[in-house]
Amino acid sequence: MEKMNKQNILELTGESFKELLDTYFLQLGVLDRSAKTISWYKEILIRYFAFLKSQGSLKPIDELGAGELTGYIVHLKKSTKWPNNPHIKDKGNLSSLTIAGHIRAVKAFWGWLLNKGYLDSNPLAKFPMPKIPKRMVVILGIEQIKELVSVIDNNTAKGFRNYCIIVLLLDTGLRISELVGIKMVDLNIIQGIVKVIGKGQKERVVPFSNRTRKELQKYIKHYRLDICSQESPYLFPEAGGGHISVNSIQQAIRRLAKKAGLQDIKCHPHIFRHTFATMFLANGGSDIALKEIMGHESYQTTQKYIHLQPQDLQKQHMKYSPVVNIFGE
């Protein structure tokens, strides 16, 4: 592709935007952004420019600014989730968190344009981010975890594999994308640690408990080769030798939750990450250690787990209530 200078960037319209975006996505890859992150940015920016084009608002890049982005936000607030999925009836509107993600992606692109000298100023630099309501992190309770595990058939290879996946997620707080990529060479059973590749392709070492070590040893010795008889480098392989897919785990957990009667909670792989982090702190774990285990880039991300669940609040209240301490229970 011909190298773009500032002059022809300012004259970009229509299809030329695609060339500019391709350059941007290529540089994101050079900066070691994950494929998922790049895909997310790509989907949002293409959707943004497509909206502007449909509204007749697609102008040279230096003429686009806060007005166009404001119009896009109004459009998003009226939009529904999964517009192209006919199987979902109750779609609902986009959440404030999703809309904030769109704004963040557009602002990041304009920041890149300025940094690369394509623009003299950034009209979106001070564009306000919407306020996102704080929500309590949803986790599984101890009884819910026991109910979920109790419906797994541990006498089958896939059943015991699913059991080990849940145990490992709950014991380490791994992201599901990190878990599926674990290779046998990444696992040190003796020391009780596993090396994973997190966001931004950053490596970290995560410990796991003796109980998890025993379960993994049993899985590797008795069940792993029943799932994949051919050689596979992965801890949790599929029949063909590749690693188990994220979707396969999501579906398996969904089925187990339904079988266990956990209808009141949305059970998905990430809920085990939330549960691990919350219980780790509630049991006396260090927030500094949690940050390293979870692979958080900032302490702010870890802080969202520093709270007490309703049942913990009740215990604390019963113990320290002035009424109880003065008059008794």
If one compares 17 and 84, the residue with the highest pLDDT of the two is 17
Average pLDDT of 91-96?
A: 75
Find the Cα–Cα–Cα–Cα dihedral 98, 309, 162, 216, rounded to 10°: 120
* Each residue's pLDDT tens digit, 263-283: 788 889 999 999 998 888 888
Identify the pLDDT of residue 327: 57
Quick one: which of 41, 22, 44 has its CA closest to 33? Answer: 41
Identify the pLDDT of residue 231: 84
Average pLDDT of 23-51?
A: 84
* Each residue's pLDDT tens digit, 156-200: 999 999 999 999 999 999 999 999 999 999 999 999 999 998 887
pLDDT confidence of 317, banded at 50, 70, 90? low
* Each residue's pLDDT tens digit, 47-90: 898 899 889 888 888 889 999 999 999 999 888 765 555 444 45
Give yes or no: residues 242 and 99 share one domain: no
Give yes or no: residues 106 and 165 share one domain: no
Give the burial string for 206-234 (b: 16+ CB within 10 Å, else e).
bebeeebbebbeebeeebbeebbeeebeb
323 domain residue, yes or no: no
Identify the pLDDT of residue 7: 45
Residue 306, pLDDT > 60, answer: yes
Q: Which domain holds residue 234?
A: 142-314
First-to-last C-alpha distance (Å) of the chain: 77
Give yes or no: residues 161 and 111 share one domain: no
150 domain residue, yes or no: yes
Domain boundary among 115, 133, 150: 115
Between CA 111 and CA 120, with CA 115 as vertex, the angle to 5 degrees is: 90
Give yes or no: residues 101 and 21 share one domain: yes
Residue 1, pLDDT > 50, answer: no
Residue 39, pLDDT > 50, answer: yes
Distance, CA of 85 to CA of 324 (rounded, Å)? 55
Q: DSSP letter string over 13-63?
A: -TTHHHHHHHHHHHHHHHTT--HHHHHHHHHHHHHHHHHHHHTT----GGG
Distance, CA of 144 to CA of 253 (rounded, Å)? 13
Bridge partners of 80, per DSSP, are: 93
Identify the pLDDT of residue 320: 64
